[in-house]
Amino acid sequence: MESKKEISRVVGGLRGEIEIPGDKSVSHRSVMLAGLCDTPVHITNFLHAADCLSTAAAMEALGVSVRWSDDATLDVTGRGFDGLTEPSGILDAGDSGTMLRLMMGLLAPQPFLSTFTGDAALYRRPMGRVITPLSQMGARIVGRAGGKYLPITVLPAETPLHGIEYKMPMASAQVKSAILLAGLRAGGETTVIEPFPSRDHTERMLRAFGAEIRQDGTRVSCRAVSKLSAPEAIEVPGDISSAAFWLVAASIIEGSDLLLKGVGVNPTRTGVLDVLCDMGANIELLNERESGGEPIADVRVRSAKLRGVSFGGAIIPRLIDEIPILAVAALFADGDTVISDAGELRVKETDRLHAVAVEYNKLAPCVEESEDGLVIHGGVKKIRHGSCFSYDDHRMAMSLAVAGAAGDGVTIENPECVDISYPSFYKTLTDLQ
């Protein structure tokens, strides 16, 4: 279905308080790990959005009880690792790479068959990066095009998996997590080594579930456990990747002052704060505290004059999902912004380097695309109104909305993809004016 959304220029700033919806990465992991235990886990601030609902539905299809008390609150009760049962239908990952890749690791040691499908975008995303190491552990996984793409079937494990030491070619929390989840049921030690540290929610949550995770720089290891011990409750922090749209919107729309409540500020995710502060943003962390093994804070952001910066290397995995919205900040900043080492953006929900270059150039012709990054010549005198395509990518749609709100308005083609991670995004944008 094709539809359009008109976003108008915001005059006078964005003001108010926002409860940031639950973290997508932590929500996926909470329902997966809870489903591997045999006592109930009460999960609050779960992200009730399409991606995480795919994971909850898959766990239910494996015999796990998932009871909702409201949109963001659920009780999950499994029957232990050995209590998972063969799904009677195909597991649908929708648009979610995290669901598909982590579930492959979780299911690889199981003695039954599971088959995955997903949406058209997920059919184009590379899965060999997970299938290769899991196969080295003894998993039997088949997929299209030589085992690289959906549809994918995880065949019943014939023999127990064995641990491996795996040097990952890219920094990816999804790949690392899939290997660690399989490692929980593999003989010997399982070790992953990353080029740079990626988000560590799996490691933190596994520790909270009683698993022994050893970390030494970019090396992470685990051993098999006979069972996981579930905490009684998990409170999911607010998603800094969702907060990022407001951090940038408030920074570049004059007269703004926002308080973002309960934002997850795990250091493996806060690259966006570091870059925005380097750009001159006015951001304050208040009421810093911990919740369920994850640091959280309220974040106040007020409008500021931004300047262009250069970033790449180790910071990239710490802000990988925020590059489209940081590129919007760069459009409105004085001077050039140079982003490098971000080739992984080409295999996200869409090729985000290409999408940013093509669509933002419709608003102001100032973005150059390189093989692994972007150069944005900021400080453009006039950002014009344009009609831009979301590529059915939630983070593109929200970034375009912020660019239009700070510029001269935008028409977004296929805007409803925000449901993947932030269903109330457009309403919140209106409410803050």
Give the catalytic positions in this structure: 321
Q: With CB under 6 A as the contact rule, which of the stretches 105-113, 167-175, 262-270, 271-279 interacts with ligand S3P?
A: 167-175
What pairs with residue 213 in β-bridges? Answer: 222
Chain positions 339 to 378 lying near ligand S3P, rule: CB under 6 A, are 344
Least distance CB 201 / ligand S3P (angstroms): 7
Chain positions 52 to 111 lying near ligand S3P, rule: CB under 6 A, are 98
Least distance CB 158 / ligand S3P (angstroms): 29
Which lies closer to ligand S3P via its Cβ, residue 25 or residue 190? Answer: 25
Which lies closer to ligand S3P via its Cβ, residue 256 or residue 270? Answer: 270
Least distance CB 347 / ligand S3P (angstroms): 7
Per-residue tokens: 230: 């579930």
x/- mask, ligand S3P, residues 170-209, rule CB under 6 A, reads --xxx--x---------------------x----------
Least distance CB 131 / ligand S3P (angstroms): 14
Q: Is 432 in the site for ligand S3P (CB under 6 A)?
A: no
Q: With CB under 6 A as the contact rule, which of the stretches 168-176, 217-225, 275-283, 303-311 interacts with ligand S3P?
A: 168-176
Q: Are 402 and 1 in contact (CB under 8 A)?
A: no
Which lies closer to ligand S3P via its Cβ, residue 185 or residue 318? Answer: 318
Angle at which helices 323-332 and 271-278 pack, to 10 degrees?
A: 10
Q: Which listed residue (298, 321, 322, 392) binds ligand S3P by CB under 6 A?
A: 321
Least distance CB 341 / ligand S3P (angstroms): 13
Who's near 245: CB < 8 A, 6+ residues apart? 325, 398, 399, 401, 402, 422, 425
Least distance CB 98 / ligand S3P (angstroms): 4
Least distance CB 321 / ligand S3P (angstroms): 5
Which lies closer to ligand S3P via its Cβ, residue 344 or residue 393? Answer: 344
Which lies closer to ligand S3P via its Cβ, residue 173 or residue 355? Answer: 173
Q: Are 65 and 39 in contact (CB under 8 A)?
A: no
Which lies closer to ligand S3P via its Cβ, residue 298 or residue 344? Answer: 344
Q: Which listed residue (76, 91, 306, 320) binds ligand S3P by CB under 6 A?
A: 320
Q: Is 27 in the site for ligand S3P (CB under 6 A)?
A: no
Which lies closer to ligand S3P via its Cβ, residue 25 or residue 414? Answer: 25
Q: Is 25 in the site for ligand S3P (CB under 6 A)?
A: yes
Which lies closer to ligand S3P via its Cβ, residue 349 or residue 413? Answer: 349
Least distance CB 380 / ligand S3P (angstroms): 28
Look at residues 90, 42, 45, 38 and name the one whose alpha carbon lies nearest to residue 64.
Answer: 38
How many residues touch ligand S3P under the rule CB under 6 A: the total is: 10
- For residue 410, give the amino acid letter: V
x/- mask, ligand S3P, residues 389-408, rule CB under 6 A, reads --------------------
- For residue 388, give the amino acid letter: C
- Where do contacts with ligand S3P occur on this chain (CB under 6 A)? 25, 98, 172-174, 177, 199, 320-321, 344
